[in-house]
Each structure stands twice: as C-alpha cells, then as structure tokens.
C-alpha cells in the first residue's frame, strides 16, 4: 500500500515538473514575481451566453473600494468586460497595462472597461499596483468563487476563468464575445474594431 502511494506521488510530482511553458514578453516591472503556469488547454468551459443575449447582471467589489453593478451602465455606456484567468501570470500581467494606454480609444467610443479576475482584492491590489495607475475598475470575482465567470460559462474546471472579452451595448445586450486561447493575448485591433462597429451602430 505504502509503495503504491509513493509510486503515485512520484508520478504526480514528475507530471507537475514537466509542464511546458508558453512564449510571452514579460515586463521587467514584474521581475521574478511572475508564476509561469505552462501551456494550458486553449479553452476549458462551455459558454452559457451568446451574441444577442441580455448580459447576466452582476455586482462585484472593485480594487478601488467601489461596488460595481453592471446594470448601472445600462442606457449610459457601452461596457467591455475583460476577464483574465489569474493574477501574477505572464499573459495576464501585460494585457491590462496595454489597455491602460488606450483609454482615449474607449472614451471615443463611449465605452467603459471593467477588468475581472477570480482573485481576491488583496491579490489584485498588489498585482495591479505593479502596472501603475489603471484608469479602469478591476473587479474581484473571488467569492462566491467565479460566480460571474460561471454565469457567462467561462469558468474553467481549475477555478480560473477563460481569457475572455465581452462587449455589452447600452441596452445591456451582448454584441461581441471572444473566448481567446488562454495562452495568448487577444489582438487589440480586433477589440477596438468591434467596439467602433458597436459604437457607430448605436
């Protein structure tokens, strides 16, 4: 019995050690503090929403201390939701700093950006602090764990969310969904092009 357990433990340990790693350009801002989870399956969940659906409403706490209700933007702003899988990981750590320098492109299209992660507030506070001052709200979908990600059908079996972009128009209707390969950053031009289309169509 003891031998069997030892054998299984050895196999598990080796499996963990031999995980592959993806390519990314990690900023020196984060130095050695980024954990590399290796190459993950591109997607691992089943969408529960589609373009044309009313977006599931949610209320989440933000790193800023505010409480954000999705319905508060109804009739006022286009909402872009950027779900990232986890704090302190390579691709996620540079996705939002990129969005941080294109505030004007969001404003021009009368849109707000909400960053969402399943991490808790203290973790998100430390992590986003490395990115400099972010102009957009960062929301914690930590507890009940991944409830919002789950309502969209983008919570993976491992408890992290898919790398997903959702654009919701002023009527609260989902107009664009991109569940991206979790190992890669979604191209910015696609997001901006979609945003412009939605903004122009009213």
Partner 1 sequence: MKKNRLIHVTLLLTSLLFIFSSCTNLSLTPHPERTPTPTVGEPLPEINLTSPTDESIRNYLGLTNITAAAFASAQIDCEILLIEIFSMYCPFCQREAPAVNKLFKLIQDDPKLSRQIKLIGIGVGNSAFEVEIFKNKYDVKFPLFADADFTIHNDMGQVRTPFFIAIANRGEKKNQVILTKLGGFSSPDKFLRSLTRRIEPPVKGEN
Q: What are the residue numbers of the active site?
A: 92
SS3 state of residue 176: strand
Answer yes or no: are the C-beta atoms of 141 and 160 closer than 8 Å. no
CB of 59 to partner 1, least distance (A): 29
Tokens 């069997």 belong to 4
Q: Which of the ranges 46-54, 56-64, 97-105, 171-179 carries the binding residues for partner 1, by CB under 8 A? A: 97-105
Say whether residue 39 binds partner 1 (CB under 8 A). Answer: yes
Query: What is the β-pairing status of strands 137-140 and 67-69?
Result: unpaired
State which of residues 42, 122, 159, 187 lies at the interface with partner 1 (CB under 8 A): 187
- Show contacts with partner 1 in window 126-155 (CB under 8 A): 130-132
DSSP one-letter string for 70-126: GGGGTTT-EEEEEE-S-TT-HHHHHHHHHHTT-HHHHHHTTEEEEEEESS-HHHHHH
Say whether residue 28 binds partner 1 (CB under 8 A). Answer: yes
CB of 22 to partner 1, least distance (A): 8
Bin 164: left if φ > 0, else alpha if -120 < ψ < 50, else beta.
beta
DSSP assignment letter at 182: T
- Show contacts with partner 1 in window 98-127 (CB under 8 A): 98, 100-102
Say whether residue 42 binds partner 1 (CB under 8 A). Answer: no
C-beta closer to partner 1: residue 4 or 201: 4
How far CA 200 is from CA of 63, 111, 120, 145, in Å, comes to 31, 12, 36, 36
Say whether residue 21 binds partner 1 (CB under 8 A). Answer: yes
CB of 24 to partner 1, least distance (A): 7
Question: Distance between CA atoms of 31 and 90, rounded to whole angstroms?
Answer: 11
C-beta closer to partner 1: residue 3 or 201: 3
Binding site for partner 1 (CB under 8 A): 3-4, 7, 10-11, 14-15, 17-21, 23-29, 31, 36, 38-39, 94-95, 97-98, 100-102, 130-132, 185, 187-189
């Amino acid at each position: 019995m003891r031998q069997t357990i030892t054998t299984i433990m050895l196999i598990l340990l080796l499996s963990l050690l031999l995980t592959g790693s993806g390519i990314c350009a990690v900023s020196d801002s984060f130095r050695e503090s980024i954990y590399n989870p290796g190459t993950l399956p591109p997607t691992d969940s089943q969408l529960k929403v589609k373009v044309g659906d009313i977006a599931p409403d949610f209320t989440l706490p933000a790193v800023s201390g505010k409480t954000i209700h999705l319905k508060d933007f109804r009739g006022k702003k286009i909402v872009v939701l950027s779900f990232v899988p986890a704090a302190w990981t390579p691709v996620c750590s540079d996705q939002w700093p990129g969005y941080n320098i294109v505030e004007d492109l969001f404003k021009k299209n009368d849109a707000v950006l909400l960053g969402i992660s399943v991490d808790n507030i203290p973790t998100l506070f430390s992590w986003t602090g490395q990115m400099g001052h972010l102009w957009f709200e960062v929301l914690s979908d930590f507890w009940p764990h991944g409830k919002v990600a789950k309502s969209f059908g983008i919570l993976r079996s491992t408890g992290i969310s898919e790398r997903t972009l959702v654009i919701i128009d002023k009527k609260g209707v989902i107009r664009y969904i991109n569940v991206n390969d979790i190992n890669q950053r979604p191209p910015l031009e696609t997001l901006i092009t979609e945003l412009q289309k939605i903004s122009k169509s009213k």
